[in-house]
Amino acid sequence: MKLILILITIALLGSPGQAAVWTDTNQWSAEWENQYSAWVKSEWNRYFFSRRLLPNGQANPYYGLRVDCADA
Flag whether 15 is in a domain: no
- pLDDT (tens, 9 = 90+) of the chain, 72 residues, equals 888 888 888 777 766 666 778 888 888 999 999 999 999 998 888 877 778 888 888 998 888 777 676 655
pLDDT in tens, 40-50: 998 888 877 77
The whole-angstrom separation of Cα 63 and Cα 3 is 50
Q: How far is CA 15 from CA 4, 32, 49, in A?
A: 17, 34, 39
Domain enclosing residue 61, as ranges: 47-72
In whole angstroms, what separates CA 67 from the centre of its chain? 15
Total structural domains within the chain: 1
Q: Quick one: pLDDT at residue 15?
A: 63
Question: With a threshold of 0.85, does the pTM exceed it?
Answer: no
Flag whether 24 is in a domain: no
DSSP class per residue in 17-41: ----SS-------HHHHHHHHHHHH
Flag whether 35 is in a domain: no
